[in-house]
A = this chain, B = another copy of it.
Amino acid sequence: MAKKNGPIEFWFDFSSPYAYLASTQIDDIAEEHGRTVLWKPFLVGAAMKVSGNIPLLNQPLKGDYVKRDAARFARLYGVDFTLPTPFPIASLAPTRAFYWLNGQNADKAKLFASLAFSAYYADGRDISQPDEAAAIAGQCGVDAGAALAAIATPEVKEMAKQATQEAIDKGVFGSPFIIADEEPFWGVDRLWMVEEWLETGGF
């Protein structure tokens, strides 16, 4: 199959530890293969209602595994990780802040997403709070007060809603979820397969 060069879609929920882990790797993987990445936060809870999934940590046995697994993944990647309290969180506020920023500048939005993930998973800040999300936006070259006001508007709320609907329409049922050349890959544990896909042009 001929190699393609379109952007990779990186779907994620800000509350997902595996999405945080993937977020520390995805741009490097894409760059190595001459690709760019579209970061696309969404509300995975809405997709889970469609798919019948239940949150990982609510499941006996599996929940214990996931806690251990996320921590070892972070060691392997060499990134800071502490399962925060509260967990999970509603990711509405950071998702809205992301799309508001994205409407102005995609790089600012991506910087916001990285900072928000670190704030939650490395520093334990509750990014579900609008003022925390707005403060992080304030580190991205926009006014924090303007961010706080923006994420309460119907227009920005609609952006987050539409992104979630787009995810469901594309069959995105978990977080993280990567789409490369219309091929879906679910989970940080598939980044090796995404690399293989990009390297070979598909299999």
Contact = CB atoms under 8 A, between A and B. Distances in A.
A76 B190 CA distance: 13
Interface string A170-181: 011110000000
B72 A203 contact: yes
Contacts of A174: 62
A47 interface: yes
A61 interface: yes
A203 B76 contact: yes
Contact of A187 (B59, B168, B189): B189
B61 A173 contact: yes
A52 B47 contact: no
Interface residues of A, number: 33
A76 B65 CA distance: 27
A52 B186 CA distance: 20
Interface in A19-60: 47, 50-54, 58-60
Given A52-B62, A53-B62, A65-B184, 5 more contacts: A52-B58, A52-B59, A62-B173, A65-B186, A72-B203
20 contacts: A50-B60, A50-B61, A51-B59, A51-B60, A51-B61, A51-B62, A52-B58, A52-B59, A52-B60, A52-B62, A53-B59, A59-B173, A61-B171, A61-B172, A61-B173, A62-B173, A65-B173, A76-B203, A189-B190, A189-B193
Interface of A: 47, 50-54, 58-62, 64-65, 68-69, 72, 75-76, 168, 171-174, 183-184, 186-187, 189-190, 192-193, 196, 203
